[in-house]
Amino acid sequence: MSAITADQTNVFPRLLDLAYPSIERGEGVRLYTTDGFEVLDACSGGAMVACLGYGNEEIVEAARRQSEQISYMYFHHFTNELQERLARRLTDEVIPEMARVRFVSGGSEANEMALRLIRQYHVDRGEPQRTRIVTQAQAYHGALFGALSLTGRQSLQSPYEPYLTAHGHIPPSTRRFDPSGQAALDELDRLIAEGGADSIAAFFCEPVSAAALPAYCPPAAFWEGLAERRERHGFLVCFDEVVTGMGRTGSWFAGQALPIEPDVVTGGKGLGAGYFPLAATFCTQAVYDAIAGGSREFEHGHTWDGAPLSCATGLAVLDFMQAHGLVERVRERGPALRDELEAAVGGFDIVREVRGAGFLLGVELVDPRDGESLLPDELDAAALVDDVAFEHGLLVTSTHSNADGYTGDQTLLAPAFVSTDEELGEMVERFAATIADVDARLKEALA
């Protein structure tokens, strides 16, 4: 398979020492390189986006028709029927806990919009001193500076710290550190006490983690403790559902399965399903009312917000998901998929845990010598898994975040919701072959 290196392109690549295969087309859940190599996609395009697979004619047709009529006008001057309809349908049928939505183009933008909304809410209620945000340390909220400030991972924040806001970060309540969730609540209490309860603007988190800690969700006791503290101290809770929104974990939004209702929610990837950039920031009626009864302005936006083409695509995605019962499919099929993955790879010495939430799955790798410690950093097992998977014609996404101390190497699988049972079986099979190879290679390297 051919691949393009940094010295063969005018593109500024992400990693200058990596050669990038060039994808020419996609069909269903398969990608094809320009030289005809087939890759089975177990990660919805690699970034958990293409949840309906590739080449969906109904969505392509809806986008084509809308482009003929009108693809773009500026949200600053106009609204349009597509934006109105998508907003109504999402808040009626998908996330009825939320009353209002602002459409943007990407997940980082949605989180930045949420930050603005949180700030505006407190200012309009006469509490401008509420500036601090607390987040989970092991998370990913985006690449823009506001979103990166929320992402409490030193490995990602460096060397941009001078541009970032210092928020508080609590440790994840994983099996390894805090199975009960109490240590996380204690740290939250410490951060609240540190600046005073009325300095906290919001708690911001992924209700079910994606790339940073795939398919991890804190225990119920943590959510109950968070809800009680919100009530007592008056901050907001914001869920980043850029990955988990739109069915990924088996409910429309992952937070709907938790014993707490957020005040602000962001969504992204699955909203446009890879057919057009589309993301959104939602809020409850109470958050909206604070601004409606205050400054009556939420004057912030981007060029493509609420454009007819992005919203028409979002409506077609929603239609398709509802018509084909895809959220129900993910909810019903997800647990068995996790079990099949566990049966296929759980026996290898390098695999410690297989987690699953719908079609979001995580495989934690450990040192095979004791079956528990994180793998030595320099082995970069995550990159090895992705490379070997590719050799087996499989796309998965692994992360390597030992530097943060909370997790080691992990692999994320996030198949498209339209994957058939045969395709899911093939993904599990190719992943098991990948892990068998990686297990052998790592043992050799460690010997």
**Residues found near ligand PLP in the complex (CB under 6 A):** 47, 106-108, 111, 140-143, 206, 210-211, 240, 242-243, 268
What is the DSSP annotation of 189-244? Answer: HHHHHHH-GGGEEEEEE-SS--TTSTT----HHHHHHHHHHHHHH--EEEEEETTT
Which of 250/368 has CB closer to ligand PLP? 250
* Distance in Å, CB of 368 to ligand PLP, minimum: 29
To ligand PLP, the closest distance from the beta carbon of 150 in angstroms equals 9
Q: Which is nearer to ligand PLP, 272 or 368 (CB)?
A: 272
Phi first, then psi: give them for residue 77, nearest 5 degrees.
-100, -30
- Torsions phi, psi for 4 (to 5 deg): -100, 125
Nearer to ligand PLP, 264 or 442 (CB): 264
Cβ-in-10-Å burial (0-12, 13-18, 19+) of 89 comes to middle
What is the closest distance, in whole angstroms, from the C-beta atom of residue 105 to ligand PLP in the complex? 8
Which residues, 6 or more positions from 347, have their beta carbon under 8 angstroms from its beta carbon? none
Judge residue 12's burial from the number of C-beta atoms within 10 Å of its C-beta, 0-12 exposed, 13-18 middle, 19 or more buried: exposed
Give the residue among 316, 260, 313, 306 at the shortest CA–CA distance from 281. 306
44 or 367: whose CB is closer to ligand PLP? 44
SS3 assignment, position 85: helix
Least Å from the CB of residue 234 to ligand PLP: 25
Name the minimum Å distance from CB 46 to ligand PLP.
10
Question: What is the smallest separation between the CB atom of 347 and ligand PLP, expressed in angstroms?
Answer: 30
* Cα–Cα–Cα angle for 60, 65, 71, rounded to 5 degrees: 95
- Shortest distance, position 48 Cβ to ligand PLP, whole Å: 7
Cβ atoms 351, 435 nearer than 8 A: yes
Closer of 280 and 354 to ligand PLP (Cβ): 280
Smallest distance, Å, CB 244 to ligand PLP?
8
> For residues 280 and 287, which CB has a smaller minimum distance to ligand PLP in the complex?
280
And the tokens for 421? 């049972």
Q: In a 10 Å sphere around its CB, with 0-12 CB exposed, 13-18 middle and 19+ buried, how is residue 162 labelled?
A: exposed
Orientation angle between helical segments 57-69 and 308-323, nearest 10 degrees = 150
Distance between CA atoms of residues 249 and 46, nearest Å? 17
| Residue among 397 and 433 whose Cβ is closer to ligand PLP | 397
CA angle 107, 42, 424 (to 5 degrees): 130
Name residues whose C-beta falls within 8 Å of residue 298's C-beta, 6 or more positions apart in sequence: 102, 116, 117, 120, 291
- In terms of CB distance, is 213 or 344 closer to ligand PLP? 213
The residue number whose beta carbon is nearest to ligand PLP equals 107
Pairing between β-strand 409-413 and β-strand 360-365 as defined by DSSP bridges: antiparallel
* Least Å from the CB of residue 60 to ligand PLP: 21
Specify the residue, 171 or 245, whose C-beta has the smaller distance to ligand PLP: 245
